[in-house]
């Protein structure tokens, strides 16, 4: 699986996002969009989750293993794995938003749900940093964590489960029961990755020398108003390491001090990069420790673990 992982990373960093017609998230989104209906019960929520995910899961993560030509199979599997995470696009959006002008407002609006049309630059920077580290968890570390555990089917399942949470997992009166199952599955699948990401962020912050002595991530975690038990980890820890206040108006305020600015976005990008590098080193080491012997039994071993 390591060759698939490294090829997928190369595709992402060099080419970015693939066309939408080969993106599994698009198909799950379209299926669920047609099925979502207000004021349906818990059972209906389970049904639409399976209907929206299972066909796409089979098409994009199981059928490719039956491609007979080895090199073609390797490329297709890597391309489909790439669709489960996005590093280049996320990094570029946040990096290009650091000037905190109207263009930054439009860029950050692409990756957050809150309305940024009338907020000050500090709130734009806060939204960018929050989204950067929340997406580090559910959009990068989590799918690759499940890739280690269950291979491509695991990474794809996490990505599609996260899509379903985005489509129907909102806690509104109309969709609460229908979205309950989607929200819980997403929470479960991101539970370990969120805490792993938080630990790696703390290590990365120490290595970079950006940790603020007054910033206590564990105090922030205890006192936070962030409802998501997973999102609070990267957001609170980022706030503590950067020594800034992160705020979503009307919902929560994390940390102490002033809202972030350009310099804080630059620091957050460095923290993001080193945290991701640490994770990839650990991922590769653990995988090789578990399955490295397969490298010495080519071709059977390699084909088996691909």
Phi, psi of 112 (to 5 degrees): -130, 155
**23-41 pLDDT per residue, tens:** 999 999 999 999 999 888 9
Distances (CA, A) of 219 to 197, 240, 245, 255, 292: 18, 9, 14, 9, 40
Question: 187 by DSSP, 3-state: which?
Answer: helix
CB-CB contact of 261 with 121 (8 Å): yes
Check residue 222 and give its pLDDT. 67
What is the reported pTM?
Answer: 0.89
Domain boundaries, the chain: 2-305
In the predicted structure, residue 243 carries a pLDDT above the cut 50: yes
CB-CB contact of 148 with 249 (8 Å): no
Task: Burial-class residue 26 by CB neighbours within 10 Å (0-12, 13-18, 19+).
Answer: middle
In the predicted structure, residue 140 carries a pLDDT above the cut 90: yes
Average model confidence (pLDDT) across the chain? 89
In the predicted structure, residue 262 carries a pLDDT above the cut 50: yes
Q: C-alpha 144: how far from its chain's center? A: 9
In the predicted structure, residue 22 carries a pLDDT above the cut 50: yes
**47-80 pLDDT per residue, tens:** 999 999 999 999 999 999 999 999 999 999 999 9
Check residue 257 and give its pLDDT. 84
Question: Average pLDDT of 283-305?
Answer: 58
Pairing of strands 246-248, 252-254: antiparallel
**9-20 pLDDT per residue, tens:** 999 999 999 998
CB-CB contact of 116 with 123 (8 Å): yes
**82-111 pLDDT per residue, tens:** 999 999 999 999 999 999 988 999 999 999
In the predicted structure, residue 158 carries a pLDDT above the cut 50: yes
């Amino acid at each position: 699986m390591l060759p698939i992982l490294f090829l997928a990373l190369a595709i992402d960093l060099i080419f970015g996002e693939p066309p939408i017609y080969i993106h599994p998230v698009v198909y799950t989104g379209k299926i669920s969009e047609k099925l979502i209906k207000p004021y349906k019960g818990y059972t209906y929520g389970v049904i639409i989750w399976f209907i929206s995910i299972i066909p796409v899961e089979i098409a994009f993560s199981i059928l490719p293993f039956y491609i007979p030509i080895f090199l073609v199979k390797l490329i297709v599997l890597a391309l489909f794995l790439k669709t489960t995470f996005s590093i280049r696009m996320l990094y570029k959006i946040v990096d290009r938003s650091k000037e905190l002008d109207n263009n930054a407002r439009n860029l950050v609006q692409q990756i957050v749900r809150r309305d940024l049309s009338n907020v000050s630059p500090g709130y734009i920077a806060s939204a960018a940093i929050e989204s950067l580290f929340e997406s580090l968890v559910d959009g990068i570390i989590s799918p690759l964590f499940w890739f280690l555990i269950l291979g491509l089917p695991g990474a794809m399942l996490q990505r599609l489960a996260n899509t379903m949470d985005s489509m129907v997992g909102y806690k509104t009166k109309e969709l609460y029961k229908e979205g309950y199952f989607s929200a819980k599955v997403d929470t479960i699948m991101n539970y370990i990755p969120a805490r792993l990401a938080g630990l790696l962020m703390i290590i990365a912050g120490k290595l970079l020398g950006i940790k603020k002595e007054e910033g206590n991530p564990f105090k922030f975690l205890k006192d936070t108003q962030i409802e998501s038990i997973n999102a609070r980890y990267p957001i609170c820890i980022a706030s503590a390491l950067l020594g800034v206040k992160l705020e979503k108006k009307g919902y929560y305020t994390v940390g102490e001090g002033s809202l972030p600015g350009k310099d804080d976005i630059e620091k957050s990008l460095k923290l993001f990069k080193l945290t991701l590098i640490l994770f990839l080193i650990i991922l590769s080491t653990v995988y090789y420790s578990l399955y490295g012997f397969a490298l010495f039994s080519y071709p059977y071993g390699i084909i088996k673990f691909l």
